[in-house]
């Protein structure tokens, strides 16, 4: 199964369209959204073509393919308009003897780890900074931000397929990858 992973759309219709074009190009089976879907939050400037209602329409058309977790900008009202779950704090994805703990990152992150066994994977957004690293006891992954990248990064997403996590720009160019199936 190929999973397309994106985070921090922040209501940008422009970048949501670009993300969905990349999703189509990738031929992924599922779209995992790591939170902060509709709103930009008080710490961020408005993203390009800020239009949460259009983002709602674009994503609801794919409601059967999307899994989502709650970001720090999600609220109960978001669940009232989005036709796929967005209020779970995390999502667990088994991967050949490992567990991927997918969350937004504002609660659990590298400074506050969730319950994980050695070799498990912490996957989160929130920082808007892409990352694919093997830590001492776990893997740390972040697809970056689709609409408001930080620290010199470009708008990005990730794909997880056959135990490989690859971060790509919106044109599909590979930025970074990491094999997650070591010692399995």
> Residue by residue, what is the 3-state secondary structure of the chain?
CCEEEECCCCCEHHHHHHHHHHHHHHCCCEEEECCCCCCCCCCCCCCCCECHHHHHHHHHCCHHHEEECCCCCCCHHHHHHCCCCCCCCEEEEEECCEEEEEECCCCCECCECCCCCCCCEEEECCCCCCEEEECCCCEEEECCCCCCCCCCCCCEEEEEECCEEEEEECCCCEEEEEECCCCC
Question: What is the per-residue pLDDT across 75-118, written as a single tens digit (0 to 9) for each?
Answer: 999 999 999 999 999 999 999 889 999 999 999 999 999 999 99
pLDDT for residue 50 = 95
- For residues 26 and 17, what is the distance between their CA atoms, to the nearest angstrom? 14
Whether 19 contacts 170, CB under 8 Å: yes
Nearest to 49 by CA among 85, 93, 88, 15: 15
Q: Hey, what CATH topology would domain 3-179 get?
A: Purple Acid Phosphatase; chain A, domain 2 (3.60.21)
Task: Say yes or no to pLDDT of 57 above 90.
Answer: yes
Question: What is the per-residue pLDDT across 25-43, written as a single tens digit (0 to 9) for each?
Answer: 999 999 999 999 999 888 8
């Amino acid at each position: 199964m190929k999973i397309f992973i994106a985070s921090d759309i922040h209501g940008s219709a422009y970048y949501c369209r670009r993300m969905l074009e990349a999703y189509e190009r990738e031929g992924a089976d599922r779209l995992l959204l790591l939170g902060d879907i509709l709103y930009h939050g008080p710490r961020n400037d408005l993203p390009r073509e800020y239009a949460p209602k259009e983002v709602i329409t674009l994503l609801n058309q794919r409601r059967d393919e999307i899994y989502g977790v709650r970001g720090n900008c999600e609220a109960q009202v978001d669940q009232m308009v989005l036709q796929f779950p967005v209020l779970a704090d995390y999502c667990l994805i088994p991967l050949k003897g490992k567990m991927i703990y997918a969350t937004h990152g504002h609660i659990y992150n590298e400074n506050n780890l969730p319950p994980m066994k050695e070799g498990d994977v912490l996957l989160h957004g929130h920082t808007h900074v892409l990352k694919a690293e093997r830590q001492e006891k776990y893997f740390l992954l972040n697809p970056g931000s689709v609409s408001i990248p930080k620290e010199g990064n470009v708008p990005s997403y990730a794909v997880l397929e056959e135990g490989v996590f690859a971060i790509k720009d919106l044109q599909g160019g590979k930025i970074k990858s990491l094999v997650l199936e070591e010692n399995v």
